[in-house]
């Protein structure tokens, strides 16, 4: 079994609560194995630009509770399609060989990559095209990665969205309004579903169940008949009407996630006010879901993932992602993870729970 003496660590994609907890765990565990640990700044861009420095015990002191990542991150720089300025034109070139050379200069033999779907794709490319030993850790507030029951950052995002719903309830009730909370999640509705149930939403709109405006209005009217003069709607950014499409906020060239969703909440405001003659307001939670200190659950899960990733590397389990299954940490091959997002199954228990307590999914 190969013993890795120098191991690199990077965070790719969007930031999320718990990244520093993972970094701390990886470094502490690696140092315990006698490894030299190297931090790569600013995601895969730092790998290409040789922004690599050694991480020691003092590097990770006091970071467990901090949001963000001390290493920095980006969801733009893919070494296999790297933006290079040629005159006045930006071209995209394969700079992965430069990344491998930078690792070789520091004698870094393996990488631990913390990221979501885009980062895992890049990690798999390094594994396949350059035979680089990699172990990955699932990170996304969206909880949309297959082969794992939970990604760290999700619990914190749900907690933030739930608190927002608690606050919206009071102003909605005071003004007799329909209040809409738009949350993140990309093409999956996990945040909306969990926060909607926890926050007592009347309607939960998710990508997995295309909605009908009449279904939403019927729920609001039914509440009015019961003397409830306000309604709370949680909508995932990827939700869309029957026969319609997701709302795209913008397209970011050069990003591992080019399509940026957003804006469905404000669209619903216009439709509900016009067709339902109801005063409606929208709050877009946005990046608040990705910032701040992680919850206790995310700190513990992130720490478990970090230890498991280093153990996997030490045991020769390379080319894998550490994952949570039945509350146990396991390793799954990266190629089983990359691909389509993990959407909510229509027979999911929480959907059944929501329907049982009278939540409308806009059907």
Q: Which residues are catalytic?
A: 142
CA distances (Å), 311 to each of 124, 214, 274, in order? 19, 53, 58
- From first CA to last CA, the distance across the chain in angstroms is 56
| Burial degree of 311 (CB within 10 A; 0-12, 13-18, 19+) | middle
DSSP 3-state of 55 = strand
Strand pairing category for 110-115 and 134-138? parallel
DSSP 3-state of 253 = coil
Could you tell me the sign of the dihedral formed by the alpha carbons of 281, 162, 191, 356, in that order? negative
Q: Is 212 left (phi over 0), alpha (psi -120 to 50) or beta?
A: beta
DSSP 3-state of 311 = helix
């Amino acid at each position: 079994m190969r013993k890795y003496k120098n191991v690199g660590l990077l965070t790719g994609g969007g930031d999320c609560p718990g990244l520093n907890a993972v970094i701390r765990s990886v470094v502490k565990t690696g140092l315990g194995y006698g490894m030299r640990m190297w931090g790569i700044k600013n995601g895969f861009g730092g790998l290409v630009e040789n922004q690599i420095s050694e991480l020691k015990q003092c590097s990770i002191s006091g970071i467990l509770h901090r949001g963000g990542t001390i290493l920095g991150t980006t969801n733009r720089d893919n070494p296999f399609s790297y933006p290079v300025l040629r005159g006045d034109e930006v071209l995209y070139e394969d700079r992965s060989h430069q990344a491998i050379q930078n690792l070789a200069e520091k004698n870094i033999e393996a990488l631990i990559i913390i990221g979501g779907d885009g980062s895992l794709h890049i990690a798999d490319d390094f594994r396949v095209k350059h035979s680089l030993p990699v172990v990955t850790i699932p990170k996304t507030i969206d909880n949309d990665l297959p082969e794992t029951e939970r990604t760290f950052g999700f619990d914190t995002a749900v907690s933030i969205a739930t608190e927002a719903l608690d606050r919206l309830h009071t102003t909605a009730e005071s003004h007799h309004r329909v209040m809409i909370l738009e949350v993140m999640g990309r093409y999956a509705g996990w945040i909306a579903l969990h926060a909607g149930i926890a926050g007592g939403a009347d309607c939960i709109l998710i990508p997995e169940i295309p909605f009908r405006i009449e279904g939403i209005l019927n729920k609001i009217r039914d509440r009015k008949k019961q003397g409830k003069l306000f309604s709370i709607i949680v909508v995932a950014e990827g939700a869309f009407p029957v026969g319609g499409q997701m709302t795209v906020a913008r397209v970011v060239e050069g990003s591992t996630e080019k399509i940026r969703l957003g804006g469905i909440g404000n669209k619903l405001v216009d439709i509900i006010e016009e067709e339902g003659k109801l005063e409606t307001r929208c709050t877009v939670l946005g990046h608040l879901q990705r910032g701040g200190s992680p919850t206790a659950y995310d700190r513990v899960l992130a720490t478990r993932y970090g230890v498991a990733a280093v153990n996997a590397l030490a045991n020769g389990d390379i080319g894998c992602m550490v994952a949570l299954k039945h509350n146990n940490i396991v390793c799954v091959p990266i190629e089983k993870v990359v691909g389509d997002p993990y959407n909510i199954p229509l027979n999911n228990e929480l959907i059944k729970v929501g329907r049982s307590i009278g939540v409308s999914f806009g059907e």
